[in-house]
């Protein structure tokens, strides 16, 4: 049963990593289209880039470990998955603001790409708060992954 639990945990982590990477790419696509983007958005994009890379690498490492027949530690997979779910919660908040902004200004209009339109959906402090929360989630994920390597 432990082998099955480990395999299921590994698959859950891989699946969640794929979903989160897709969400990150969608958010980044929109944020990069925002004209007149301030430094807060640039920092947020950098964090999203880091999170995307970490999630991709995590999924690849677990897949490689499964292919090589290595045993996955169920408890550590659960820990990594929980940290990823924390990241998911933060991404869902940011994705909600992006969707509201797109809807309010029309996805293909120039207004949708202006920072003014994005600001209607969230204030500078909101952007900084997203950045802080995402940074904390990223640190938690890094810790969980590091612990799984020990």
Residue extents of the structural domains in the chain: 2-149
Cβ atoms within 10 Å of 30's Cβ, excluding its own:
20
CB contact burial 94-113 (16+ within 10 A = b; e otherwise): bbebbeebbeebeeeeeebb
Report percent pLDDT > 70 for the chain: 73
CA distance 53 to 43: 16
Which region holds residue 106: left if phi is over 0, alpha if psi is between -120 and 50, else beta? left
> Which residue did the predictor score with more confidence, 51 or 105?
51
CA distance 11 to 57: 14
Q: Is pLDDT at 119 greater than 70 in this prediction?
A: no
- Mean pLDDT on 123-141: 86
| Cβ neighbours of residue 69 closer than 8 Å, sequence gap 6 or more | none
> Which residue did the predictor score with more confidence, 35 or 136?
136
User: What pTM did the predictor assign?
Assistant: 0.78
Q: Is pLDDT at 2 greater than 90 in this prediction?
A: no
> Which residue did the predictor score with more confidence, 126 or 96?
96
**What is the average pLDDT value for the chain, to the nearest integer?**
79
What pLDDT, on a 0 to 100 scale, did the predictor assign at position 1?
40
> Which residue did the predictor score with more confidence, 40 or 18?
18
What pLDDT, on a 0 to 100 scale, did the predictor assign at position 21?
94
């Amino acid at each position: 049963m432990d082998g099955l639990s480990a395999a299921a945990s590994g698959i859950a982590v891989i699946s969640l990593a794929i979903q989160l990477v897709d969400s990150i790419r969608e958010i980044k696509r929109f944020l990069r289209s925002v004209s007149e983007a301030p430094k807060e958005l640039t920092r947020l994009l950098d964090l999203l880039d880091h999170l995307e890379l970490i999630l991709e690498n995590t999924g690849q490492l677990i897949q490689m470990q499964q292919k090589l027949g290595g045993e996955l530690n169920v408890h550590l997979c659960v820990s990594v998955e929980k940290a990823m779910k924390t990241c998911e919660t933060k991404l869902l908040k940011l994705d909600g603001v992006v969707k509201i902004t797109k809807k309010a200004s029309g996805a293909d209009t120039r207004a949708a790409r202006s920072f003014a339109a994005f600001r209607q959906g969230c204030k500078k402090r909101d952007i900084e708060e997203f950045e802080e929360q995402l940074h904390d989630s990223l640190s938690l994920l890094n810790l969980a992954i590091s612990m799984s390597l020990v």
